Amino acid sequence: MLEYDRISGLIPTGVWIDGRSEPATTTFEVRNPATGELLTEVADGTAADALRALDSACRVQSAWAATAPRERSAILRRAWEILIDRTEEIALLMTLEMGKTLAEARGEVAYGGEFLRWFSEEAVRIGGRYTDSPAGTGRILVTQRPVGPVLAITPWNFPLAMGSRKIGPALAAGCTVIVKPAEDTPLTMLALAQIFAEAGLPEGVLSVIPGSDASAITAPLLADPRLRKVTFTGSTRVGKLLLKQAADTVLRTSMELGGNAPFIVFEDADLEQALAGAMAAKMRNGGEACTAANRIYVHNSIREEFASRLAEKIGALRVGPGHEPGVDTGPLINERQRNSVAALVEDAVAAGAVVRTGGKAIDGPGWFFQPTVLDEVPRTARMHREEIFGPVAAIYGFDSEEDVVAAANDTEYGLAAYFYTRDLDRALRVSSALEAGMVGVNRGVISDPAAPFGGVKQSGLGSEGGSEGIHEYLDTKYVALTR
Ligand code: NAP
């Protein structure tokens, strides 16, 4: 029996509109990237489905915006409770459709679920402002109103959290939401829609339209003036396309885009801590994370020791299907992604990088790549500029703080950055100099639902999580009153 058969009863496979799964007319396949096995077929959403979802969203938008914040809060809280009760099933589902290990998938249920709990708490704290005008001629009332129907487009690497990080604040703010999940991983988002229905979310407030042709679903929505916001997590390339389309109807936008995170180990770092941090920042999610340490800069006085110890740790990782016991790291999401990682490694090696461990794709079935450490990577290699998005640690040497900060900032991206030092002055100086939306100081994991997650430069616009996250779904309204 396929592992998937154990949980298939909990997962709708039609387009999700008006609080139910509709029988599919045409479908596309969802396969396990670790084995190539067919998990199931999912409804192939169309432009007509997308527009029907928008009709539903518009029909209930005012009523949803008018619900008591306490009621929206209670629904989010119930959805969080059901999700956590179903941790094992949802974790297995994510492992099967995306490839991450069960331990990481359980971690994602906890992390992704936390956005529902956090925003259930934020729903009742949407503030406003009231003041006399300085001239004494009037009063100023400032309120926050839900933006309106939202389109959320999500990637495959965190099939739950990248959706819940948008759905949680949008629902808390009083917005209706249509989600277009990634083609490779539509099932987790459909399972979440089912959970929201069980939690009492009114029909039409949340729709999920999976599909094999993303723009066929999203373009008609973006062109429709009834849609009021697009929130996207994915590549910078697609983010730019969406921004251009959003211009036509002057849509509110939130963009969580690509990264090229520097991870700097200064000569005074605690080496044990830095190694543990590098393992987390590089190998979390098999390296398929926008916050992944893409460029590991190590001071030349400690580089040899750091590189050999990191190679020992990474070389010892057990690779295999994520649901099998004892596996540390799973496959890449698909053949294209594995070939892209292989091409970046070949390019770096041709440019002079030294392979400390790994370096090659692993024969199938499944899209595996050996956990890899490359040392002495020249800064001219493509992987210095491009996201690796795989289990490949690239180490670069440096001699001075000035040089490494300049190198770290020499990228169009600005999502996450990490560095290790025991010098407080340096910690403050470098965290201020790094051009990134998020900086980890002596930490390899920075994501926290209570903190604002977001990038600068071409890594994006806006923040998700924290008390900032809900404001992405609220418009400011000023009411002028006489005295
Ligand atoms: P992607 O190719 O940009 O796809 C992301 C989503 O956009 C998917 O749902 C995809 O649908 C859809 N899409 C693709 N082309 C589209 C188009 N022309 N119009 C409308 N939608 C379109 O990115 P990915 O490969 O899934 O994810 C990896 C990228 O996401 C990396 O660059 C990573 O850094 C970034 N990311 C950023 C964050 C962050 O918070 N900043 C978090 C996670 C990932 P299909 O699947 O059907 O193509």
Sorted by where each begins, the domain ranges of the chain are 2-258+459-482, 261-412+416-448
Q: Is the pLDDT reported for residue 422 higher than 70?
A: yes
For the Cβ of 235 lying below 6 angstroms from any atom of ligand 1, the answer is yes
- What is residue 215's predicted lDDT score, i.e. its pLDDT? 98
Question: How sure is the predictor about 240, in pLDDT bands with cuts at 50, 70 and 90?
Answer: very high
Q: Is the pLDDT reported for residue 9 higher than 70?
A: yes
**pLDDT tens digits, one per residue of 320-348:** 999 999 999 999 999 999 999 999 999 99
For the Cβ of 157 lying below 6 angstroms from any atom of ligand 1, the answer is yes
> Mean of the per-residue pLDDT values for the chain?
97
Ligand 1 atom nearest to 154, measured from its CA: 9
Ligand 1 atom nearest to 258, measured from its CA: 34
Question: How sure is the predictor about 429, in pLDDT bands with cuts at 50, 70 and 90?
Answer: very high
Across 94-105, average pLDDT: 98
Q: Which CATH superfamily is domain 2-258+459-482 in?
A: Aldehyde Dehydrogenase; Chain A, domain 1 (3.40.605.10)
Which of 31, 151, 157 for a ligand 1 pocket mutation test, highest count of atoms within 8 Å of Cβ?
Answer: 157
For the Cβ of 255 lying below 6 angstroms from any atom of ligand 1, the answer is no
Three-class SS string for the chain? CCHHHHCHHHCCCCEEECCEEECCCCEEEEECCCCCCEEEEEECCCHHHHHHHHHHHHHHHHHHHHCCHHHHHHHHHHHHHHHHHCHHHHHHHHHHHHCCCHHHHHHHHHHHHHHHHHHHHHHHHCCCEEEECCCCCEEEEEEEEECCCEEEECCCCCCCHHHHHHHHHHHHHCCCEEEECCCCCCHHHHHHHHHHHHCCCCCCCEEECCCCCHHHHHHHHHHCCCCCEEEEECCHHHHHHHHHHHHHCCCEEEEECCCCEEEEECCCCCHHHHHHHHHHHHHHHHHCCCCCEEEEEEECCCHHHHHHHHHHHHHCCCECCCCCCCCCECCCCCHHHHHHHHHHHHHHHHCCCEEEECCCECCCCCCCECCEEEECCCCCCHHHCCCCCCCEEEEEEECCHHHHHHHHHCCCCCCEEEEECCCHHHHHHHHHHCCCCEEEECCCCCCCCCCCECCCHHHEECCECCCCHHHHHEEEEEEEEEC
Q: Is the pLDDT reported for residue 371 higher than 70?
A: yes
- What is residue 288's predicted lDDT score, i.e. its pLDDT? 98
Question: Residue 190 Cα, ligand 1 centroid: separation in angstroms?
Answer: 18
Across 375-380, average pLDDT: 98
- What is residue 10's predicted lDDT score, i.e. its pLDDT? 87
Across 173-181, average pLDDT: 99
Residue nearest to atom 9 of ligand 1 (CA): 182
Across 389-408, average pLDDT: 98
Let me know if the fold of 2-258+459-482 is the same as that of 261-412+416-448.
Answer: no
* Integer Cα distance of 172 and 194 in angstroms: 18
Q: Say whether 58 is catalytic.
A: no
**pTM, two decimal places:** 0.98
Beta-bridge partners for 419: 264, 441
Question: Residue 313 Cα, ligand 1 centroid: separation in angstroms?
Answer: 31
Question: Residue 228 Cα, ligand 1 centroid: separation in angstroms?
Answer: 20
Residue nearest to atom 6 of ligand 1 (CA): 155
For the Cβ of 153 lying below 6 angstroms from any atom of ligand 1, the answer is yes
- What is residue 305's predicted lDDT score, i.e. its pLDDT? 98
Which of 208, 230, 235 for a ligand 1 pocket mutation test, highest count of atoms within 8 Å of Cβ?
Answer: 235
Question: Residue 184 Cα, ligand 1 centroid: separation in angstroms?
Answer: 11
Residue reference for tokens 């704290």: 125
Residue nearest to atom 8 of ligand 1 (CA): 182
Which of 233, 242, 438 for a ligand 1 pocket mutation test, highest count of atoms within 8 Å of Cβ?
Answer: 233
Question: Residue 78 Cα, ligand 1 centroid: separation in angstroms?
Answer: 29
Q: Return the sign of the alpha-carbon dihedral for residues 234, 236, 237, 239.
A: positive
Cβ–Cβ < 8 Å for 229, 150: yes
For the Cβ of 60 lying below 6 angstroms from any atom of ligand 1, the answer is no
Across 225-250, average pLDDT: 98
For the Cβ of 163 lying below 6 angstroms from any atom of ligand 1, the answer is no
- What is residue 2's predicted lDDT score, i.e. its pLDDT? 79
Which of the listed CATH numbers 3.40.50.11540, 2.60.40.10, 3.40.50.620, 3.40.309.10 matches domain 261-412+416-448?
Answer: 3.40.309.10
Question: How sure is the predictor about 1, in pLDDT bands with cuts at 50, 70 and 90?
Answer: low
Question: How sure is the predictor about 255, in pLDDT bands with cuts at 50, 70 and 90?
Answer: very high
For the Cβ of 154 lying below 6 angstroms from any atom of ligand 1, the answer is yes
Across 191-205, average pLDDT: 98
Residue nearest to atom 39 of ligand 1 (CA): 256
Q: Is the pLDDT reported for residue 366 higher than 60?
A: yes
For the Cβ of 199 lying below 6 angstroms from any atom of ligand 1, the answer is no
Across 384-397, average pLDDT: 98
Residue in 97, 290, 387, 401 annotated catalytic: 290
- What is residue 131's predicted lDDT score, i.e. its pLDDT? 97
Question: Residue 377 Cα, ligand 1 centroid: separation in angstroms?
Answer: 28
Q: What is the distance of C-alpha 60 from the center of its chain?
A: 28
For the Cβ of 215 lying below 6 angstroms from any atom of ligand 1, the answer is yes
Q: Say whether 401 is catalytic.
A: no
